Structure 1
Protein backbone atom coordinates (compact mmCIF):
# COMPACT_ATOMS: atom_id res chain seq x y z
CA UNK A 1 0.00 0.00 0.00
CA UNK A 2 1.17 3.45 -0.83
CA UNK A 3 -0.06 6.62 0.90
CA UNK A 4 0.59 10.02 -0.68
CA UNK A 5 -0.05 13.17 1.34
CA UNK A 6 -0.48 16.59 -0.30
CA UNK A 7 0.13 19.54 2.02
CA UNK A 8 0.42 23.28 1.62
CA UNK A 9 -1.33 26.62 1.85
CA UNK A 10 -4.80 27.57 0.65
CA UNK A 11 -4.98 27.89 -3.11
CA UNK A 12 -1.96 25.68 -3.67
CA UNK A 13 -3.80 23.29 -5.98
CA UNK A 14 -4.13 20.26 -3.68
CA UNK A 15 -7.70 19.66 -4.80
CA UNK A 16 -6.58 20.24 -8.39
CA UNK A 17 -3.95 17.55 -7.88
CA UNK A 18 -6.63 15.14 -6.67
CA UNK A 19 -8.78 16.06 -9.67
CA UNK A 20 -5.84 15.36 -12.00
CA UNK A 21 -5.48 11.89 -10.47
CA UNK A 22 -9.24 11.44 -10.78
CA UNK A 23 -9.15 12.45 -14.46
CA UNK A 24 -6.22 10.09 -15.15
CA UNK A 25 -8.14 7.22 -13.61
CA UNK A 26 -11.24 8.12 -15.62
CA UNK A 27 -9.27 7.93 -18.88
CA UNK A 28 -8.20 4.44 -17.79
CA UNK A 29 -11.83 3.47 -17.25
CA UNK A 30 -11.78 3.63 -13.43
CA UNK A 31 -14.10 5.60 -11.19
CA UNK A 32 -12.56 7.32 -8.16
CA UNK A 33 -14.86 9.83 -6.50
CA UNK A 34 -13.10 12.17 -4.07
CA UNK A 35 -13.97 11.48 -0.43
CA UNK A 36 -14.54 14.63 1.64
CA UNK A 37 -12.79 13.76 4.92
CA UNK A 38 -14.68 16.45 6.83
CA UNK A 39 -17.85 14.39 6.47
CA UNK A 40 -16.32 11.58 8.55
CA UNK A 41 -14.75 11.17 11.95
CA UNK A 42 -11.31 9.59 12.17
CA UNK A 43 -12.59 6.01 12.38
CA UNK A 44 -15.38 6.70 9.88
CA UNK A 45 -12.80 7.73 7.28
CA UNK A 46 -10.93 4.47 7.79
CA UNK A 47 -14.18 2.55 7.38
CA UNK A 48 -15.03 4.22 4.06
CA UNK A 49 -11.48 3.60 2.81
CA UNK A 50 -11.77 -0.07 3.79
CA UNK A 51 -15.17 -0.37 2.08
CA UNK A 52 -13.83 1.16 -1.14
CA UNK A 53 -10.73 -1.06 -1.06
CA UNK A 54 -12.84 -4.16 -0.41
CA UNK A 55 -15.06 -3.13 -3.33
CA UNK A 56 -12.06 -3.23 -5.66
CA UNK A 57 -11.09 0.45 -5.85
CA UNK A 58 -7.29 0.53 -6.08
CA UNK A 59 -6.74 4.30 -5.87
CA UNK A 60 -8.62 6.24 -3.22
CA UNK A 61 -8.74 10.04 -3.18
CA UNK A 62 -9.44 11.93 0.05
CA UNK A 63 -9.65 15.73 0.37
CA UNK A 64 -9.52 18.00 3.42
CA UNK A 65 -7.95 15.51 5.87
CA UNK A 66 -7.08 16.57 9.40
CA UNK A 67 -3.67 15.78 10.79
CA UNK A 68 -5.24 13.12 13.03
CA UNK A 69 -7.04 11.49 10.09
CA UNK A 70 -3.76 11.27 8.18
CA UNK A 71 -2.05 9.72 11.20
CA UNK A 72 -4.90 7.19 11.53
CA UNK A 73 -4.56 6.20 7.86
CA UNK A 74 -0.78 5.78 8.27
CA UNK A 75 -1.34 3.69 11.40
CA UNK A 76 -3.90 1.55 9.56
CA UNK A 77 -1.38 1.04 6.73
CA UNK A 78 1.10 -0.30 9.28
CA UNK A 79 -1.52 -2.73 10.59
CA UNK A 80 -2.32 -4.06 7.11
CA UNK A 81 1.25 -4.45 5.81
CA UNK A 82 1.02 -8.25 5.82
CA UNK A 83 -2.34 -8.37 4.01
CA UNK A 84 -1.66 -8.94 0.30
CA UNK A 85 -5.12 -7.66 -0.66
CA UNK A 86 -3.85 -4.13 0.04
CA UNK A 87 -0.50 -4.43 -1.79
CA UNK A 88 -1.61 -2.48 -4.89
CA UNK A 89 -3.73 0.09 -3.03
CA UNK A 90 -2.78 3.77 -3.39
CA UNK A 91 -4.36 6.36 -1.11
CA UNK A 92 -4.02 10.07 -1.97
CA UNK A 93 -4.68 12.35 1.01
CA UNK A 94 -4.92 16.15 0.77
CA UNK A 95 -4.38 17.76 4.16
CA UNK A 96 -6.68 20.57 5.24
CA UNK A 97 -5.13 23.99 5.71
Structure 2
Protein backbone atom coordinates (compact mmCIF):
# COMPACT_ATOMS: atom_id res chain seq x y z
CA UNK A 1 0.00 0.00 0.00
CA UNK A 2 1.19 3.45 -0.86
CA UNK A 3 -0.21 6.53 0.88
CA UNK A 4 0.34 10.02 -0.51
CA UNK A 5 -0.59 13.09 1.55
CA UNK A 6 -0.80 16.64 0.20
CA UNK A 7 -2.55 19.96 0.84
CA UNK A 8 -6.17 20.01 -0.19
CA UNK A 9 -6.26 23.24 -2.19
CA UNK A 10 -3.64 24.92 -4.35
CA UNK A 11 -4.88 28.36 -3.32
CA UNK A 12 -3.38 30.01 -6.40
CA UNK A 13 -6.15 29.51 -8.92
CA UNK A 14 -4.69 26.20 -10.08
CA UNK A 15 -6.47 22.89 -9.59
CA UNK A 16 -5.67 21.11 -6.34
CA UNK A 17 -3.21 18.24 -6.39
CA UNK A 18 -6.11 15.88 -5.70
CA UNK A 19 -7.94 17.22 -8.76
CA UNK A 20 -4.79 16.76 -10.86
CA UNK A 21 -4.48 13.14 -9.72
CA UNK A 22 -8.19 12.58 -10.38
CA UNK A 23 -7.88 14.04 -13.90
CA UNK A 24 -4.83 11.85 -14.64
CA UNK A 25 -6.68 8.72 -13.53
CA UNK A 26 -9.70 9.58 -15.68
CA UNK A 27 -7.40 10.21 -18.67
CA UNK A 28 -5.91 6.74 -18.08
CA UNK A 29 -9.40 5.20 -18.03
CA UNK A 30 -9.39 4.54 -14.28
CA UNK A 31 -12.53 5.28 -12.29
CA UNK A 32 -11.64 6.75 -8.91
CA UNK A 33 -14.48 8.53 -7.11
CA UNK A 34 -13.45 11.04 -4.45
CA UNK A 35 -14.34 10.19 -0.85
CA UNK A 36 -15.35 13.16 1.30
CA UNK A 37 -13.50 12.54 4.57
CA UNK A 38 -15.84 14.87 6.47
CA UNK A 39 -18.57 12.24 6.19
CA UNK A 40 -16.53 9.81 8.31
CA UNK A 41 -14.72 9.68 11.61
CA UNK A 42 -11.23 8.18 11.78
CA UNK A 43 -12.45 4.59 12.06
CA UNK A 44 -15.23 5.13 9.53
CA UNK A 45 -12.70 6.31 6.98
CA UNK A 46 -10.67 3.13 7.46
CA UNK A 47 -13.84 1.08 7.00
CA UNK A 48 -14.73 2.77 3.70
CA UNK A 49 -11.15 2.36 2.47
CA UNK A 50 -11.34 -1.36 3.27
CA UNK A 51 -14.69 -1.61 1.43
CA UNK A 52 -13.28 0.16 -1.63
CA UNK A 53 -10.18 -2.07 -1.63
CA UNK A 54 -12.29 -5.22 -1.24
CA UNK A 55 -14.42 -4.08 -4.18
CA UNK A 56 -11.30 -3.92 -6.34
CA UNK A 57 -10.62 -0.18 -6.36
CA UNK A 58 -6.83 0.23 -6.47
CA UNK A 59 -6.63 4.05 -6.45
CA UNK A 60 -8.56 5.86 -3.74
CA UNK A 61 -8.86 9.64 -3.47
CA UNK A 62 -9.87 11.22 -0.16
CA UNK A 63 -10.62 14.94 0.20
CA UNK A 64 -10.50 17.18 3.31
CA UNK A 65 -8.81 14.78 5.72
CA UNK A 66 -8.16 15.86 9.27
CA UNK A 67 -4.78 15.31 10.87
CA UNK A 68 -6.25 12.47 12.96
CA UNK A 69 -7.73 10.76 9.89
CA UNK A 70 -4.35 10.91 8.15
CA UNK A 71 -2.60 9.45 11.19
CA UNK A 72 -5.21 6.67 11.39
CA UNK A 73 -4.70 5.79 7.70
CA UNK A 74 -0.93 5.68 8.20
CA UNK A 75 -1.39 3.45 11.25
CA UNK A 76 -3.70 1.17 9.24
CA UNK A 77 -1.10 0.98 6.48
CA UNK A 78 1.52 -0.21 8.95
CA UNK A 79 -0.87 -2.83 10.34
CA UNK A 80 -1.67 -4.21 6.87
CA UNK A 81 1.77 -4.03 5.24
CA UNK A 82 2.08 -7.84 5.20
CA UNK A 83 -1.39 -8.37 3.71
CA UNK A 84 -1.00 -9.02 -0.05
CA UNK A 85 -4.53 -7.82 -0.86
CA UNK A 86 -3.37 -4.26 -0.12
CA UNK A 87 -0.01 -4.40 -1.95
CA UNK A 88 -1.13 -2.49 -5.04
CA UNK A 89 -3.49 -0.08 -3.25
CA UNK A 90 -2.69 3.61 -3.62
CA UNK A 91 -4.42 6.12 -1.36
CA UNK A 92 -4.23 9.87 -2.04
CA UNK A 93 -5.14 11.95 1.01
CA UNK A 94 -5.80 15.68 0.66
CA UNK A 95 -5.34 17.42 4.00
CA UNK A 96 -7.76 20.07 5.21
CA UNK A 97 -6.47 23.61 4.85
CA displacement at 1:9 relative to structure 2: 7.2
Q: Unpaired runs of 5+ in structure 1?
A: none
CA displacement at 1:26 relative to structure 2: 1.3
TM-score, L = length of structure 2? 0.89
- Secondary structure at the residue paired with 1:92? strand
CA contact (8 A) 2:80 2:86 kept: yes
The 4+ residue runs of structure 1 with deviation greater than 3 A are 12-15
RMSD (Å), alpha carbons: 2.0
Distance 1:14 1:56 in 2: 31
Aligned residues: 97
CA displacement at 1:15 relative to structure 2: 6.4
Q: Unpaired runs of 5+ in structure 2?
A: none
Match of 2:62?
62
CA displacement at 1:35 relative to structure 2: 0.7
